[in-house]
Structure 1
Amino acid sequence: MRKHLCRTLMLGAALALSAAAQAAPAWPARPITLVVPFPPGGTTDLLARLVAREAGTRLGQSVVVENRPGAGGGIGAAAVARAQPDGYTLLMGTLGTQATNQFIYAQMPYDSAQGFAPVTLVANSPNVLLVNPKLGIASVAQLIEQARRAPGSLNFASTSLGGSPHLSGELFNRLAKVDIRHVPYKGSAPAMTDLLGGQVQLMYDNLPSAMGQIKAGAVKALAVTTTQRVPMLPDVPTVAEAGLPGYEVNSWFGLLAPAGTPPEIVGKVRDAVAAALAEPGTRRQVEELGAIPVAGTPAQYAETIRADTAKWRQVIQDAGIRPQ
């Protein structure tokens, strides 16, 4: 009798577990939100919308882009860090949100090291040094000459405080021994508007969001920040070859989930993005934006974040940038 009762209880438990497993819908069972912590129109936004479309198709659910700008990407990043770790909220992170903001802002609303589960890098992108053509500066050498002749008379726009475009300008100042003042904006689009309007003379931007204005001739690209020229702008020199040896800035964009997201869900997202970026058509779209598609593992992305955190901590200290 006791054995029969035990078998009955075990069978009942097994049936209950089976019923629960059958009742739990497979992920993803509803649309996924991809938070972009910057305004529409910038590189982060453009890449996120491409990823959302292509990964959503492969996951079988809509991936909805939600722009939540502010605090150099901190507002959107914090929202994702606080979200349920169920795979339905993701972040398109940047060098700023995951590595440099912690050294720029005195109060961080999230822990960039512990608050997220890295999913995959999506793309690497050079930054580009832009000038308003009306300024009459056609080369890095001319820019340095004018900046030295009248210290503090020039200013440069960037997409946020502490992001890679901002740090591109600070590194330029340090190596060229000039004083070009920084003017931070909340995203690429408003910064570009003021560059075109003459409110600022220079701008450092991620290449993808600047390509349209460069091709239209509305702005002039003086140099790219990577160590090698980029295929999209073969006639534009690097900052290093244009007169500042040792200069290098590389920007990246990648997907992250809230810490605690199940590894199997992280893996599904990563695989969907990797499959999308393996398609020649998708790769071409990323490259046309001025970026280099990447689809590494979560561990590789985590290592990139760790390495760049150490690198830029030193650069920020050397530049004398104080937490705001």
Structure 2
Amino acid sequence: MLQRARRTLLAAAVAALALPGVAFAQGSFPSKPIRVVVSFPPGGAADQIARAVSEPLSQALGQPVVVENRAGANGNIAGEFVSKQPADGHTLLMSSGGTVSINPHLYQKMAFDPTKDLVPVAAAARVLVFLEVNPAKVPVNTAKEFVDHLRKNPGKLTFGSPGNGSSPHLAAEMMKAQANVFATHIPYRGAAPAMQDLLGGQIDFMFDPGIGLQHVKAGKLKLLAVGSPKRSPQFPDVPTLDEMGMKGFDADTWFGFYAPGGTPQPVVARLNTEINKVLRSAGFIERMNAIGAIPAPMSPQDFAARGQIDSIRFGALIRARNIKGD
């Protein structure tokens, strides 16, 4: 009995001594460089957002912020990697919300549970998708002409995406379902390589997450419509697919930052505060304008709620179209 009491007192003493160290560790965050792991290859929307945030975030936190790309499996490779890192805020995931809201519907088995093994830190931007065609291969000028062209050529046209279940892929599936047309999907390991093949004529069209808008302005691609509930502020004259008769069409996704599950709340709060400051800066807004994205500062709780909403709406589409992961 006495020995048990001594062991209990000893354990309590050890715990008491450890508490100040825990508090100090949280209070001194960050204590080393921060790694931002991007779930898609360089050049895509997630990569551009991560790099637009990294430098000002580094200045705010007083530590280097290093961007690293780990592409594959619609974000699962990067998501699994980050989920297994120490939960101290020094490793973050930058990804589309699909890693949490879409992938559980795509894959029967995942090496991690994104709703438990990752914690939302901060949304970054609402990423729109733009329906673009290679004008040398698809001789149309409007979305209506494009749909008519698809109907006259069932299965003959091809479209690219960053991968099965990515928001550009799901946008195309929405269009196919609502317009009752068929085209062949060519999945890539990111938006940038898909865009290169669209420019090169290897594929015919694509729902672009904004990285091809520079080519639209240069006349190399033709922008036909926006896959959002509202028109893009950057292209107010371009109609939405909802306006073209595809009622309720909404393929927007929220890209943002996640940390390993169990990351202390004060660390998450600090990161959320500093990232939101970056999102409101003129420099970040300018860089998002270039890809047609809209900065989206919000709390971790609101970001998590957004993921749940997207899980419901995209999950229904995935089941209806029988879409499977890579």
Q: Normalized against structure 2, the TM-score is what? A: 0.90
Partner of 1:131: 133
Tell me, in whole angstroms, the C-alpha distance in 1 between the residues paired with 2:65 and 2:257.
13
Partner of 1:106: 108
Which stretches in structure 2 are left out of the alignment for 5+ residues?
A: 1-12
Tell me, in whole angstroms, the C-alpha distance in 1 between the residues paired with 2:180 and 2:30.
53
How far off its partner does 1:114 sit? 0.9
Give aligned-pair identity as a percent: 37
> Does the alignment pair 1:53 with 2:55?
yes
Partner of 2:46: 44
Q: 1:253 to 1:259 in 2, by over 3 A?
A: same
1:158-197 correspondence to structure 2 within 5 Å: 158-197=161-200
How far off its partner does 1:263 sit? 0.5
Q: Deviations over 1:264-302 (max 9, x none)?
A: 110111011111223233323323331111111111111
1:299-310 correspondence to structure 2 within 5 Å: 299-310=301-312
Question: Is the 2:100–2:114 contact (alpha carbons within 8 Å) kept by the matching residues of 1?
Answer: yes
RMSD, aligned CA? 2.3
Q: Normalized against structure 1, the TM-score is what? A: 0.90
How far off its partner does 1:188 sit? 1.2
1:184-263 correspondence to structure 2 within 5 Å: 184-207=187-210, 209-263=211-265
Question: Is the 1:130–1:203 contact (alpha carbons within 8 Å) kept by the matching residues of 2?
Answer: yes
DSSP 3-state at the match of 1:133: coil
Q: Deviations over 1:173-202 (max 9, x none)?
A: 000000111111111111011111111101
How far off its partner does 1:148 sit? 1.2
Tell me, in whole angstroms, the C-alpha distance in 1 between the residues paired with 2:154 and 2:116.
41
> Does the alignment pair 1:146 with 2:149?
yes
Question: Is the 2:164–2:324 contact (alpha carbons within 8 Å) kept by the matching residues of 1?
Answer: no
Q: 1:16 to 1:95 in 2, by over 3 A?
A: closer
Partner of 1:157: 160
Tell me, in whole angstroms, the C-alpha distance in 2 between the residues paired with 1:141 and 1:176.
10
How far off its partner does 1:22 sit? 9.9
DSSP 3-state at the match of 1:75: helix
Partner of 1:273: 275
Question: Is the 1:156–1:180 contact (alpha carbons within 8 Å) kept by the matching residues of 2?
Answer: yes
How many corresponding residue pairs?
Answer: 313
Amino acid paired to 1:138: N
How far off its partner does 1:113 sit? 1.0
Tell me, in whole angstroms, the C-alpha distance in 1 between the residues paired with 2:43 and 2:313.
28
Question: Is the 1:206–1:251 contact (alpha carbons within 8 Å) kept by the matching residues of 2?
Answer: no
Tell me, in whole angstroms, the C-alpha distance in 2 between the residues paired with 1:77 and 1:227.
29
Question: Is the 2:73–2:325 contact (alpha carbons within 8 Å) kept by the matching residues of 1?
Answer: no
Tell me, in whole angstroms, the C-alpha distance in 2 between the residues paired with 1:308 and 1:300.
12
Q: Deviations over 1:205-242 (max 9, x none)?
A: 212x1222222221111111011111211222111213
Q: 1:220 to 1:300 in 2, by over 3 A?
A: same
Tell me, in whole angstroms, the C-alpha distance in 2 between the residues paired with 1:203 and 1:164.
11
Tell me, in whole angstroms, the C-alpha distance in 1 between the residues paired with 2:19 and 2:167.
50
Which stretches in structure 1 are left out of the alignment for 5+ residues?
A: 1-11
Tell me, in whole angstroms, the C-alpha distance in 2 between the residues paired with 1:236 and 1:138.
11
How far off its partner does 1:96 sit? 2.0
Tell me, in whole angstroms, the C-alpha distance in 2 between the residues paired with 1:79 and 1:181.
32
Question: Is the 2:209–2:291 contact (alpha carbons within 8 Å) kept by the matching residues of 1?
Answer: no
